[in-house]
Structure 1
Amino acid sequence: MGISLRAAKLEDAGVINDIYNHFVNTCTCTWQESPSTIAEREAWMQQHDERYPVVVAVDDENGAVVGWGSLSSMSTRSGWRYTVEDSIYIHPAYQGRGIGRKMIAELIARAKKLGYRSVVGIISGDQPGSLGLHRAAGFEEVGRLRRAGEKLGRVLDAVYMQLEVRS
């Protein structure tokens, strides 16, 4: 099975939203509790210009978008302009096939090319897959907000992981 990565297009908004909303409804990897509408996803994508890329993973056999990743602004305050937050969501049927590793490597490469200093992952403490993915890519845990969130009846830590991509 081959997987290609490409820049997301606005017409990918529906499938990106479907993948994301699956996780909104079923797990703690996002702390969002209500599904996003297609209008919200399209607006989000329009805010993600070349400085804040969205990348999709495509199954080469059938052309289906099976995952996505993004770099987003860490804050609207200008002092944060050299730091971005990464997000990665892979369709459950495609997890465990190395797509996350491929996606995080692509996001790191794009962050370097765009001149960012750091990439940060804010990860639910009960998500060993995401924590391991980030560790394997060189991220280090730099902070933990204990019992900071709650979803699906569980109280959750927020783990801050950081990779410095330039000094």
Structure 2
Amino acid sequence: MSEPVEQPPVAPRLGDPAGARKTVSIRLATLADAEAIRTIYNVEVENHTSTFDLVARSVEEQRSWLTERSGAFAAVVATMANRDGEERVVGFASLSPYKERAAYRPTVENSVYVSRDHGGLGIGRTMMEHLIELARDSGFHSMIARIEASSEASRALHVACGFELVGVEKEVGRKFNRWLSTAVMQKML
């Protein structure tokens, strides 16, 4: 599964030059992607509620996180060529153990993050579809997403990929001086 997966061109955002089309590629993440992933993630940590993390990651912490993402618990990146033709990481997604106890092993949890500069281009959905296939190929039975409950875009992405809402954990986190709830969504594989 380490071969890059070329996806069809994604629609340009409003404001892009007329006729501009960009192609997104999905591949397994490597340690060389640590800084790009960290940059995308830390924007969310420091400015948004898409993650309940409160402290930005260092490059070393991001490398450690990537090292833990191998085999069935993979991390992937979405890349797009910039104007100079250089590939740039514009998003990342991962599979993680759902819970520590052995009976939960057939279930996996997913995470998907797209650079704020590249939202609305279908990159999140492309990565989700790739993650779902990775999870199926690895023999998982179900996939869980834990989403900050007011995130309509993330919930819509998961619904579009076949997830359904199975519950809401009310006021389980606190960030930016407000209580946050978690929508739990599930897809049977």
User: What residue identity is the alignment partner of 1:18?
Assistant: T
Local SS of the residue matching 1:76:
coil
Residues 78-119 of structure 1: per-residue CA shift (max 9 Å, x gap): 111111110000001100000011010000011011000011
- Please state if 1:134 is matched with 2:155: no
Moved over 2 A (4+): none
**Cα deviation, residue 153, structure 1:** 1.7
**Which structure has greater helix proportion?**
1
- Please state if 1:97 is matched with 2:121: yes
Give the equivalent residue in structure 2 for 1:47.
68
Give the equivalent residue in structure 1 for 2:37.
16
Q: Distance in 1 between matches of 2:70 and 2:52?
A: 24
Q: Distance in 1 between matches of 2:102 and 2:37?
A: 28
Q: Distance in 2 between matches of 1:153 and 1:134?
A: 27
Residues 11-43 of structure 1: per-residue CA shift (max 9 Å, x gap): 111111111001000100001011011111111
Higher relative contact order, chain-length normalized (CA < 8 Å, sep 6+): 1
The partner residue of 1:122 within 140, 146, 162 is: 146
- Report % sequence identity: 35
* 1:29-48 alignment runs, 5 A limit: 29-48=50-69
**Cα deviation, residue 62, structure 1:** 2.8
* 1:56-135 alignment runs, 5 A limit: 56-60=77-81, 61-135=85-159
Calculate the TM-score normalised by the size of structure 1: 0.96
Local SS of the residue matching 2:87:
coil
Calculate the TM-score normalised by the size of structure 2: 0.85
The answer to which of 72-81 and 110-119 deviates more is 72-81
